[in-house]
Structure 1
Amino acid sequence: MRIAFTAPMKPLDDPVPSGDRTMGRLIVQALETAGHDVTVATRFRSWKATGGIEAQQEVEQAALAEAERVLSSWEAAGYRPDIFLTYHLYHKAPDWIGPAIASRLGIPYVVIEASRAPKRKTGEWSYGFAAADAALSRADLVAAMHRADRECLTAVVPAERLAVLTPFLDADRFLQAPRIPRRDSEPVRLLAIGMMREGAKLASYRLLAEALDRLPASLRFTLTVVGDGPCRAEVEALLARHPVTFMGAVAGEEIPALCASHDLFVWPAIREAFGLVFLEAQAAGLAIVGGDTFGVPDIVAHGRTGLLSAEGDAEAFARSLEVLVSAPLRAAEMGSAARVHIRERHTLASGAASLDALLEQALRNFALHATASQQ
């Protein structure tokens, strides 16, 4: 199928790395792996940091103008997609382009990853919230990335048009990274990866530091931290009491080997949608100590590939850390199980098959709707 793609929250070529950008690229890669022809319709970004109805109306007008530009360019080139697919929309990043183009061409409209916060129905984000709801109501299929988001979407998307797409990654580089075993004399090697910026990321670093502070002094571990950002000095100060190495930003191609040289991936995952890095770490053979947040339990098997604790609970997070740092053999067993877990459930091939099935469902839903409209 010919698929037109857009990502209103962050274009695929955005210079700032993020899990959102990575997942968008993975979706395109998986679609192409499944044999589909993907065209990036536009790199228009509707996301705004601040709200206000007038500001959002200006974005809407610009988006609709972009939709007209795209349609004109396609007409001139003789191009017509079979499906329009939008990745990641919500009140701060509504999609006006996809519904407009899909309606004009009479083709199915699909949304992958959408979140909905009813508290935004009023206030400065009300216009964006309504626009996101309108797009979701128009969609022939909406795929959430985890069960928690799916539940939030049931108020606006009928069950027959709502699904969950299990997160996946291009796992081969991680699965094939040779493990570097820990010597008996070595401390347990912890790894954390996260941007150092205000908000949820900094909150995760604060909780990690608090949990490490609670560990018994007799436990031997080292911590490697990968990430950079405007809050780096604060993060360094938070963790200064512990044996930590700050590596700053690390190129993506270096992450598999780095993961494979550690024993535990530790991340509190405050407000994390699901955390692509949890998939990467498990594929490289690391056990997980993480927060039981949104979609994290969908990809980390608690008790088998890692230990999860309630989001924001530093004491519970510390207990999970203590369990695995004090039992490195159990951590190693969990790391081995994690690689099997990824290989069986979260590879690019798995994602390609799932996306293919979702597109077929969207086509069926579109056909049923068209038939019903004619009766």
Structure 2
Amino acid sequence: MKLAFTSPMKPLDHPVPSGDRTLARLLVRAFREAGHTVDVATRFQSWRKSGGRSMQEALKTEALREAEAVAASWRSTGYVPDAFVTYHLYHKAPDWIGPALAREFNCPYIVIEASRAPKQATGDWAFGFAEADKALEAADQVVALHRADATCLRDLVGERLSIIPPFIDTDPFDDAPALAVVPKRIKLLAVGMMRPGAKMRSYEVLAQALERVKATNWELTIVGDGPERADIHDMFCELPAHFVGSVATDAMPAFYSTNDILVWPAVREAFGFVFLEAQAAGRPVVGGDTFGVPDIVAQGVSGLLSAEGNVDAFAANLERLLEDPQLCNQMGQQARAHVQARHSLEAGTQHLDTLLLRAKDHFAFKHQTGKIS
């Protein structure tokens, strides 16, 4: 199939790395490896940090102008997509371009990673919320990446909703040696950007939890950088922690390979690629039970999760693994098997192929019945 693609939250070539950009690129790769052609229709970014109706109305006008420019280009070249795919849509990043082009070129419209917060129906984001809902109502298929997002979407999109687990390319992690914890010195790893808000809060929870851990057989390596690095350094100054700064993506498998346990509280985290990467490398995780994290970490099998922000519970889970190296090794083996079975690129490709078939079927059905959005 010929797929037109856009990511209104963050373009594929955005200079700032993030899980959002990573998954968008993985989606394109998975579609292409399944034999589909993918063309990026537009780099238009509708995401804004702050709301307000006048700003959002002006943004809609700009987006529709962009949609017409894309349409004119397609008409001039004779390009007609078989489906239009939008990645990551919500009240701060509505999609006006995908629905407009799907209507004009008479093809299915698909939204992957939609999230919906009904509390945003009023207030500064009310217009963006309503416009995002319009796009979801027009979609032939809507994908949530975890059950928490699916809950708020189901009432609006009904049977057009499916859950596709997030996935990664596991190949770079295949060479990681099987975990063999040395009880006298267990190596912990934390990976996270050092920015205000939820990331900063995750570092706070981690530092506080480590201060409460009674075991002394550990050391921590922290990978990450950002504007809050000085304050974060101060949090860990009296702990056996080593900061390595920002690390290139292709160098990360080595860090998972040379450490034993990933520790990350995941405050307000959608799901966290670091959990998938650590498990793919055969490393257990201690994390926060937040949003989609329990959908990708098998509790008690590949890791231990505690309530979001609960310092004592996080410390207790970590202490459990520090005191039981055999359990660490067992969870490491199970972690790798878990990701290979459910969250590999191959698994994602199969899910996406099924999604395209469902979108085609729904599109055909609504045309046959006259129920065209």
Q: In which range does the TM-score fall when normalised by the shorter chain?
A: over 0.9
Identify the residue that residue 201 of structure 1 maps to in structure 2: 199
CA contact (8 A) 1:188 1:220 kept: yes
- Rounded Cα–Cα distance in structure 1 between residues aligned with 2:341 and 2:249: 23
Q: Is 2:179–2:260's contact at 8 Å kept on the other side of the alignment?
A: no
| Matched-pair contact (CA < 8 Å) for 1:33–1:349 | no
Please give the alpha-carbon distance, in whole angstroms, between the structure 2 residues aligned to 1:335 and 1:309. 18
Paired residue for 1:162?
A: 161
3-state DSSP of counterpart to 2:156:
coil
The residue type paired with residue 239 of structure 2 is H
Q: Secondary structure at the match of 2:38?
A: strand
Question: 1-side partners of 2:136 and 2:238: how far apart?
Answer: 48
Determine which of 232, 236, 255 is the counterpart of 2:233: 236
Residues 178, 257 of structure 1: 8 Å contact kept: no
The TM-score normalised by the length of structure 1 is 0.97
Per-residue displacement from partner, 1:1-37 (whole Å, max 9, x unpaired)?
0000000000000000000000000000111111110
Task: Return the offset for 1:154.
Answer: 1.4
Does the Cα contact within 8 Å between 1:179 and 1:261 map onto a contact in 2? no
Q: What whole-Å deviation, never above 9, does each CA across 1:114-142 have from its counterpart, x for those lacking one?
A: 11111110111111001100000110000
Looking at structure 1, the residues matched to 190 and 223 of structure 2 have their Cα atoms a distance apart, in angstroms, of 6
Question: In the aligned structure 1, how far is the partner of 2:328 from the partner of 2:314?
Answer: 15
Q: Trace 1:173-252 onto structure 2 (pairs within 5 A).
A: 173-179=172-178, 181-185=180-184, 187-216=185-214, 218-252=215-249
Q: What residue is the counterpart of 1:358 in the other structure?
A: 355
1:287 counterpart (262, 276, 284): 284
Amino acid at match of 1:277: V
Distance between the aligned counterparts of 1:184 and 1:55, measured in 2?
57
Count of residue pairs brought into register by the alignment: 372
Structure 1 residue ranges, 4+ long, deviating more than 2 angstroms after superposition: 175-185
Q: Deviations over 1:281-330 (max 9, x none)?
A: 10011101001111111110011101011111111101001000111221
Q: Secondary structure at the match of 1:26?
A: helix
> Match of 1:95?
95
Rounded Cα–Cα distance in structure 2 between residues aligned with 1:40 and 1:328: 47
Equivalent residue for 1:328?
Answer: 325
What's the TM-score, normalizing by structure 2? 0.98
In structure 2, the residue matched to 1:144 is 144
Alignment of 1:1-375 (within 5 A): 1-158=1-158, 160-179=159-178, 181-185=180-184, 187-216=185-214, 218-373=215-370
Q: Which amino acid aligns with 2:164?
A: L
TM-aligned CA distance change 1:325 to 1:374, over 3 Å: closer
Q: Distance in 2 between matches of 1:154 and 1:342?
A: 26
Once the two structures are TM-superposed, the CA of residue 374 in structure 1 deviates from its matched residue by: 7.4
RMSD over aligned Cα, in angstroms? Answer: 1.2
Distance in 2 (alpha carbons) for counterparts of 1:374 and 1:136: 15
Please say if residues 253 and 281 of structure 2, whose CA atoms lie closer than 8 Å, have aligned partners that are also in contact. yes
- Give 5+ residue unaligned stretches, structure 2: none
Aligned with 2:155: secondary structure? coil
Q: How far off its partner does 1:149 sit? A: 0.3
Cα distance in 1, alignment partners of residues 45 and 183 from structure 2: 51
Kindly tell me: are residues 244 and 79 of structure 1, through their superposed partners in 2, closer, same or farther at Cα, counting changes over 3 Å? same
Question: Could you tell me how far 1:219 is from its partner in structure 2?
Answer: 2.6
Residue by residue over 1:35-61, the C-alpha shift from the partner in whole angstroms, topping out at 9 and shown as x without a partner, is: 110000001000001111000111111
Any gaps of 5 or more consecutive residues in structure 1? none
